[in-house]
Amino acid sequence: MDQSLISKAFQTFGSEAANHASAWMEMVQKLAKASALDEKTQALAYLAVLAVLGLESGIPFHVQQAKQAGARREEVFSAILVGLPAAGHVVTRALPPALETFDR
């Protein structure tokens, strides 16, 4: 995974609070294993959540994960826009970093 896709905030978390970051990653991995979703669907759903919450800094990393899991550009685009009816146009802020990352 391209480390430049990891947000500065998460890099700082990992370097300055290593024990917390390790515990966090362990929990994330356990939740992923517990999910009934396949890797691609999980990655696309996560992108939808990030977009709705306005967490654009995590978009590049998770777009790359979705792409590596086999997601097509159109699927990434659609996953981000899935929250449009409920959350409004706030989700469109995630489109530029998502598509720029996907197209690299």
Task: Give the position of tokens 């978009």.
Answer: 59
Question: Among 24, 94, 12, which Cα is nearest to 53's?
Answer: 94
Query: Under CATH, which architecture does the 3-103 domain have?
Result: Up-down Bundle (1.20)
d(CA 70, CA 74): 12
DSSP secondary structure letter of residue 7: -
In this prediction the pTM is: 0.87
| Phi-psi label, residue 72: left if phi above 0, alpha if psi -120 to 50, beta otherwise | beta
**Would you list the domain boundaries of the chain?**
3-103
Predicted confidence band at 2 (pLDDT cuts at 50, 70, 90)? confident
Predicted confidence band at 1 (pLDDT cuts at 50, 70, 90)? low
pLDDT in tens, 18-76: 999 999 999 999 998 999 999 999 999 999 999 999 999 999 999 999 999 999 999 99
User: Of 1 and 104, which is predicted with more confidence?
Assistant: 104
